[in-house]
Amino acid sequence: MKSVAERNYLRRMALTVAAYLVLTYLCTWIVHHLHPGRAVIYILALIPTLAVVKMLHNVAVYLQEQKDEYLRRQFVQAILVGITFTLIASSFSDFLVSYDHGRGLPPFTLFTICWVVTGIAQSVQSHRNRVRDEVVA
């Protein structure tokens, strides 16, 4: 049974992810079909970040709405796990860029790693919680 804060968070996140995908698709389409100048490309690159900022805003709102201290701490821990893996991959990629003729990880890999790992961490946490509940019962 999900709390109101969790339901609100999931709803907001689904909308923001949809907005991110639409904005990314639109920006990609504009770049490939309209061939804008360099200045416009820089502006287009900034547009999808609005959705990213909104994602983090959703997280902040969830942490404010969530009254359960344990769930709040778990959520921050999941984000920390996501950030850890992102920074590890970033450090690895940076090193390769520096010393392997400029070849690092492909674009969008780090962003994907961050959210996927955060999601996996949350799944593991909820699985561990469920096992503990069953043991107590």
Shortest Å distance, C-beta 137 to another protein: 26
Nearer to another protein, 8 or 90 (CB): 90
Q: Which is nearer to another protein, 7 or 111 (CB)?
A: 111
**Closest to 63 in 3D by CA, of 76, 82, 77:** 76
Name the residue nearer to another protein (CB basis): 19 or 52: 52
Q: How far is the CB of 11 from another protein (least distance, A)?
A: 20
d(CA 17, CA 47): 14
- The residues near 45 (Cβ < 8 Å, ≥ 6 apart) are 27
The smaller minimum CB distance to another protein, of residues 22 and 137, is found at 22
Contacting residues toward another protein, per CB under 8 A: 27-28, 31, 38, 41-42, 44-46, 48-49, 52-53, 55-56, 59-60, 63, 72-73, 76-77, 79-80, 83-84, 86-88, 90-92, 94-100, 102, 107-108, 110-111, 114
Axis-axis angle for helices 4-34, 38-65 (nearest 10): 180
Shortest approach of another protein to residue 133 CB, angstroms? 21
CA-to-CA dists, residue 128 to 56, 112, 123, 125, angstroms: 25, 24, 9, 5
Contact 44, 27 (CB under 8 A): yes
